A = this chain, B = another copy of it.
Amino acid sequence: MYVVIMAGGKGSRFWPRSRVAKPKQLIDIVYRTTMLQATVERVLPMVALKHIIIVTGAEHEQLLRAQVPDIPPENILIEPVGRNTAPCICLAALHIASRDPESSMVVLPADHYIAQPDAFRTSIALAVTEAETSGSLVTIGIKPLSPETGFGYIEYAAPDSCVHGGAYPVTRFHEKPDLAHARMLVARKNVFWNSGMFVWKTCTILDALQRHLPDVYHCLAAIDIAPPHSAYQRSIAEAYAKMPAVSIDYGVLEKSDQVKTVPGDFGWNDIGSWSAVYDLSDKDAGGNVFRGAVKEIDAHNVLVDAPSKFTALIGVQNLVIVDTGDCLLVCSRKHVQDVGKIVSMLELEGLKQYL
């Protein structure tokens, strides 16, 4: 078994803490370690270091390698440019197939929070068994807690039609819905959030990629991974320049009839905004979360992330305050979804030093 950790992504929703040079997965947004390091630690009880593959962008290679020095250097695959999850997974699958065509693959994002790692590993083990015995593409489903519009949804066949306990055939994918649609979906019993965590045999996903995304598959399958490093990197760059950006969900899973879902009940949170960081953090009696030296008079439900200075709050409520020395964010907790808009404004105006 191999674990593939997808560590691309910009994480603009955590600006100014996350930056172009230091995205969410490479910062300690909820753990004492970085999100990536926590993801590695979480899988170590079930996989050897040499079977952990990390895929990242060229711009973060150096910082990433420094954060996981125990991962064999050749296990870190570099994408010259981000093309969403399908090319990333195809690259990793081809790499793993060259080592062991009969292996199975667990694909995990590098930037998710999981409260109960033991329960997580139990679900993954169940999904691996399912993938190996039935040849399915297995996605980990999360019981919806609210009508989130930021996730895709999975509809699955009711339990009494299932062959295996705990793995349900997926009947339909719903891409990120609007709020009304999300409310309707959450009201149903046979719907999960699509967590973006997948398990399959390496040969199964390669077959599916070849069938449903032949452009992606053939671009990458044609590359000889044996030659000198520099030639290999040049071939990868040429392939990525040609490939479309497409998600594995849209490009493969929605088109396949062999998808199953295993429910994951392990305190999952994709940490999609500063609100999630606030929700997951220990609070003082006033509902405040303070990182750094903070004094307050009559402050309530405020997240302060300002580790390098002294902060005073007086008479304020429901704020997210993030200071990085060069940048300061003061945001209503209701408006944390708009943080990315500030990043867009900075991009538009060419204020690169703050990105």
List A residues at the B interface (Cβ < 8 Å). Answer: 15-16, 295, 297-298, 306, 309-316, 319, 321, 323, 325-332, 334-336, 338-339, 341-342, 345-346, 351, 354
| Interchain CB contact under 8 A, B310 and A332 | no
Closest residue of chain B to A326 (Cβ to Cβ) is B309
Q: Distance in Å from the Cβ of A341 to the closest Cβ of chain B?
A: 6
Q: A314-B341, A315-B331 are in contact. List 4 more A-B contacts (CB 8 A).
A: A295-B345, A311-B327, A313-B330, A315-B338
Q: Distance in Å from the Cβ of A269 to the closest Cβ of chain B?
A: 22
A351→B310 CA distance, assembly (Å): 10
The listed residue (B314, B319, B354) touching A329 by CB distance below 8 A is: B314
A297→B313 CA distance, assembly (Å): 21
The listed residue (B298, B316, B335, B338) touching A330 by CB distance below 8 A is: B316
| Interchain CB contact under 8 A, B328 and A342 | no
| Interchain CB contact under 8 A, B326 and A323 | no
Q: Distance in Å from the Cβ of A289 to the closest Cβ of chain B?
A: 14
| Interchain CB contact under 8 A, A309 and B297 | no
A328 and B311 in contact, given A297-B335, A297-B338, A298-B335 (Cβ under 8 angstroms) = yes
| Interchain CB contact under 8 A, A314 and B342 | yes
A346→B326 CA distance, assembly (Å): 25
| Interchain CB contact under 8 A, B315 and A334 | yes
A126→B59 CA distance, assembly (Å): 72
| Interchain CB contact under 8 A, B325 and A313 | no
B residues near A319, Cβ cutoff 8 Å:
316, 330
| Interchain CB contact under 8 A, A330 and B310 | no
Show 19 residue pairs from A and B whose CB-CB distance is below 8 angstroms, ordered by the A residue.
A16-B312, A295-B345, A295-B346, A297-B342, A306-B328, A309-B325, A309-B327, A310-B326, A311-B327, A311-B330, A312-B328, A312-B331, A312-B339, A314-B335, A315-B331, A315-B338, A323-B323, A328-B328, A330-B330
The 3 closest A-B pairs by CB, nearest first: A315-B335, A315-B332, A314-B331
A335→B16 CA distance, assembly (Å): 27
B residues near A326, Cβ cutoff 8 Å:
309-310
A247→B346 CA distance, assembly (Å): 53
Q: Distance in Å from the Cβ of A34 to the closest Cβ of chain B?
A: 24
Q: Distance in Å from the Cβ of A131 to the closest Cβ of chain B?
A: 43
